Structure 1
């Protein structure tokens, strides 16, 4: 099972030894993990050092390295250059995709996100019928910004009427930032593996955003992070610390149902991104979007990463 490795302790050294990523503190090894078991490497700490081999070996496996700021949101991502064997052809198809196709794909992504939000609210005891109606009202390209309309209702219901989503905020916002960082890493890896380019978004088009496509494709999964954060808060854990981060990294193993059966989120995300790549190639939007899981909660905690 692929793991998200989080480096949260200052002044550690990362190296590669015989197929393992090793983590050392002043020359003493603190832990190790097989390179083939890593789904993403997330670094929060100050003074972390590493050998170049860390990047080359993780790059060989298509593993992104995410470096975060003090708000637990990603500041940079090291993305492997080599991806799918059809990478060149798929990137050309992605670049040449007609605008109507992108708008149709965005419609389906927004609808899936709003329906997932409604499902999360329903599981938390709220009336969510309006969210199904909102999802049905989304038009191609979402020109009416139904996504924002749903968000305004959603945040107040899930976290209380005084809650405001703030990327630079702490507590709940910090937990959300960290969970979304994990999601972005999962989608970035799937994008690389599918031969697409992360900068060429479907909807997000900020010239400074090198991972616009990852931000687009993670949208339907965001409510799953929100539910895990809600469960943590209900248990009295509202701060970003090693314990809560470990819980949030486990979203990669969350089981999601599909036509092919139940699969971990990391696997379902790969199928979703592959369907996006095929949509670019065929010119028809046929997306394998995530479905609500049977259960979403904050799993019991265990030993934390470095």
Structure 2
């Protein structure tokens, strides 16, 4: 009998298994025994997945020349062994199952999610698969039913923003530490950190970068004024099929996705004005409604870009009407300047630019984590150093998150004239102003809303992740069309 080596592998079948125990079954046979922490099913039999695992072990043992007539599973909770027959019918069953599994794995289109399956509720991957969400998007809106809240819990980690100039960020004893002149300024458990954002002249130690990347915590660098400069992350996402599909997307598919994104943005902008404007807007609402319809019918990216630009001019011309009289910041300059950037010329433009940067930063991290290349977009053309896909997805979230934060900090008096500084024809936020905006921005991301398509409550942080995964399902062919995030 050949010597037994674990793990066992079979290049012919494309399988590998690790054995917990192999016993002598007598008459030259062996018995693989697998240990499970749980219990058998109500009939005292092995669960189907456990049985298949034992049959794989038996199959590979037979491949190695061992005689196997049965296998056993030890369930620790009930302290009993369950017998698994290993006969010709069982071997044919596991061989056919493996062949079907390899056909599914080799198919570039993923199988459809399960429908109303009790397996989904306890599955740790339900927040990635989104079975109910994808099924709902395939159903006409009037026929959709409210979804069960099946999503996996969101990780509790939150971004850490370091704005103290000259500070040093490092990791010690599984804690992220921020020091200035050797003095400890702040300390966070690594398990509570989702990303580290550093502004200006802040140093991140080499040991700290290694520790953060080993935990899939990205480090993001910003200029002192808040311009997103770049990021460091661990190895690329493993979803290579998604990136292949992203790069292979036809121009027609890209245009259709872009149409829906821009139409969603215009509709959200119109909703913002209707909810918050403190003055009569005249025909602006009707014009935005018409432009949202035109965006869905655009014949080319150039035409869509023109529609988006027209809508933006109408929207920003009315934007100061959403700022209350109690605001401590004078927004009259915005009416004369309009939307300006690089550099922004007045406080309102400075706030908008900073919040857009934060939004694009988070979407870049989200898309990268899912497996997209955030630099190859559908609407924004690829350009060196520009996260085009993150800018695409940001369109529908600009009114919902970034512009909403701007209105909050202005109307709540969270920023004032002293939080801005003008220099060389531009306006920028001071450190105090950035801190106030960062607090408001994180507060907005944590706010829960009722999802307009799915009917359950989710934070904006989670909604961005859902939209990125819906986009991935469209690119992979699991959904026929993209549905933008539009509030009612």
Shorter chain as normaliser: what TM range? 0.7 to 0.9
Give RMSD over aligned pairs: 2.3
1:249 aligns with 2:442: yes
CA-to-aligned-CA distance 1:239-287 (integer Å, 9 cap, x gap): 3322233222333213233205121111111111111111111175533
Distance 2:336 2:256 in 1: 35
Aligned-partner SS, 1:95: helix
How many positions carry a matched residue from both structures? 290
Q: What is the deviation of 1:210?
A: 4.0
Contact 1:109 1:289 in 2 (8 A): yes
Contact 1:176 1:229 in 2 (8 A): yes
Aligned-partner SS, 1:137: helix
1:214 aligns with 2:390: yes
1:59 aligns with 2:235: no
Paired position in structure 1 for 2:313: 152
Distance 2:213 2:480 in 1: 30
Aligned residue among 186, 193, 203 for 1:49 = 203
Runs of 5+ in structure 1 lacking a partner? 294-306
Distance 2:267 2:157 in 1: 28
1:273 aligns with 2:450: no
Paired position in structure 1 for 2:374: 198
Contact 1:64 1:185 in 2 (8 A): no
Distance 1:190 1:201 in 2: 14
Question: TM-score if structure 2 supplies the norm length?
Answer: 0.55
Q: What is the deviation of 1:40?
A: 3.0
Paired position in structure 2 for 1:88: 240
- The alpha-carbon distance between structure 1 residues 291 and 19, as it changes in their structure 2 partners (threshold 3 A), is farther
- Whose RCO is larger (CA < 8 A, sep 6+)? 1
Aligned residue among 406, 422, 427 for 1:229 = 406
Distance 1:105 1:70 in 2: 35
Paired position in structure 2 for 1:21: 176
Runs of 5+ in structure 2 lacking a partner? 1-155, 322-334, 420-428
Distance 1:21 1:209 in 2: 29
Q: What is the deviation of 1:52?
A: 2.1
Paired position in structure 2 for 1:303: none
Paired position in structure 2 for 1:75: 229
Aligned-partner SS, 1:287: coil
1:98 aligns with 2:259: no
Q: Identify the range of structure 1 (92-101 vs 52-61) with the bigger mean alpha-carbon deviation.
A: 52-61
Contact 1:101 1:285 in 2 (8 A): no
- The alpha-carbon distance between structure 1 residues 54 and 264, as it changes in their structure 2 partners (threshold 3 A), is farther
